[in-house]
Structure 1
Amino acid sequence: MAVIGAAVDSGTKEVFESLARARSVTSSRLAAVLIRDFIRAEEGNRQQTTDTDLPAAAHIPARAGARTEQVYVRIEPYYYDELGRLAAQRRWYRSAYLANLLYAHIDRRPVLCHDEVNAVRQVARQLADIGRNVNQIARKVNIDPDHADFSTLDFELIRMLLDIETAAVKELVHANLRTWGATDVQ
Structure 2
Amino acid sequence: MVTTHLISAHVSAEMKARFRSLAEQQEITEAVLLKQLVDSAVGSAGVIDAGCLKPSERRGKGTRTYALLHPDDKLLLKERAASRQMGAATYISVLIRAHLRNLSPLPEAELMALKLSVAQLGAIGRNLNQVIRLAGRGVAMTGISREDLLAIVEVCEAMRNHTKDLLKVNALSWRNGYETASP
TM-score by length of 1: 0.49
TM-score by length of 2: 0.50
